[in-house]
Amino acid sequence: MDLISAAEAAHRAASDREQIAWVDERDQLLGSLPRAELRERGLIGRGTFILLFNSAGQLCVHRRSLSKAVYPGYWDAAAGGMVQADESYALSASRELEEELGVSGVELREHGTFLFDEPGNRLWCAVFSAVWDGPLRLQPEEVLEAKFIEPRLALAEAEAGALYCPDSLQSLRLYLSQV
The answer to whether the annotation marks 150 as part of a ligand binding site is no
- In sequence order, the β-bridge partners of residue 47 are 82, 125
Q: How far apart are the first and last CA of the chain?
A: 45
| Cα separation, 125 vs 146, whole angstroms | 22
Neighbours of 140 (CB within 10 A): 12
Q: What is the pairing mode between strands 29-34 and 19-23? A: antiparallel
The answer to whether the annotation marks 18 as part of a ligand binding site is no
CB 32 within 8 A of CB 133: no
Residue 30: closest CA among 14, 38, 15, 171: 38
Q: Which residues are annotated as a binding site?
A: 96, 100
Q: Which residues participate in the annotated binding site for Mg(2+)?
A: 96, 100
